[in-house]
Amino acid sequence: MSKFTAACVQNNALNNIADNLPIVRDLVRQAASLKADFIALPECVSLLEPDNAALRAKVPEEQDHPFIPMYQEEARQSGAWILGGTLAIRVADAKGENKIANRLYLFNPKGQIAATYDKIHMFDVDLGAGETYRESATYAPGDQAVIAELPWGNLGLSICYDIRFAYLYRALAQAGAAILCAPAAFTKISGEAHWHILQRARAIETGSFVISPGLCGIHAEGRETYGHSVIINPWGEVLADGGPDVGIVTAEIDLVEVTEARNKIPALTHDREFEITTPATTSDKVA
């Protein structure tokens, strides 16, 4: 069995978990009604709160997060695998300090949590025009890459800013991942410049399908996310694009295409060790 239907759900997250839950549940049900076997949702799907103090006050511990039982029930009812986007979860970091994990959850059709992944790379950037982000001030980074087994092939998990670190995806593909997912809340500024290029590059470099759902629209305090959830084949072709608005896109995935792409260009098997040298300057050269 190599074929399945993938769906990306694209929502506009509010800054309250209780308000987001019924909206997301309805979108998941719409995706299931389209006969999707695998339903993926964005980063920060349950809560986008730009104010760090307010965010800390709103984040629950894992056992208290209402999105988890909701996803479990929807997975059981639909019979689909659900990649439930990322949930902000209260945790203690290595020093015992209160932090937040940006955690991705995968639910199987029995409603069980099949895998979790905590975002490794923190979005600490200055985009100009006063748009600055410091995820590391609030979030505890993960330190484990994760591959989950689906009925059709292996899934490599990642989140948003991870997409800029090609070595992560190469490692996932070389470890057996045929499908790569990067749920995101890409800013409009960086999304317009880089989103499609990065997603297509990761697909081409690894000969993998890439399924990346994204938040869209204007959120609390005027923060704007790019949307454009994408499903991309191993040759780098965009099979579906969610555009800027709330909605669902689907595409048929045939993992035979992964084998074909990797046979044509077997770059994953062509690694070579090398050293980086710095040529001597003129003053260092021996006369």
pLDDT of residue 287: 52
pLDDT of residue 127: 76
Active site residues: 43, 119, 160
pLDDT of residue 124: 83
pLDDT of residue 96: 73
Render pLDDT for 55-77 as a digit per residue (tens, 0 to 9): 999 999 999 999 999 999 999 99
**What CA–CA distance (Å, rounded) separates 147 from 38?**
16
User: Is-above-0.85 flag for pTM?
Assistant: yes
pLDDT of residue 282: 57
Q: What is the 3-state secondary structure (H, E, C) of 116-148?
A: EEECCCCCEEECCCCCEEEHHHCECCCCCCEEE
Structure tokens at 37: 């076997």
Structure tokens at 93: 């970091």
Q: Is residue 231 scored above 90 in pLDDT?
A: yes
Mode of pairing for the β-strands spanning 3-10 and 38-40? parallel
The contacts of residue 57 (CB under 8 Å, 6+ apart) are none
Write down all domains in the chain, each with its CATH number in brackets. Answer: 3-284 (3.60.110.10)
Mean pLDDT of 273-285: 79
Angle at 181 between CA 219 and CA 100, to 5 degrees: 55
Lowest mean pLDDT among 13-27, 93-107, 121-135: 121-135
pLDDT of residue 234: 98
pLDDT of residue 167: 98
Query: Strands across the sheet with 81-92, in order?
Result: 113-118, 98-107, 81-92, 38-40, 3-10, 247-254
Indicate the SS3 state at residue 97.
coil
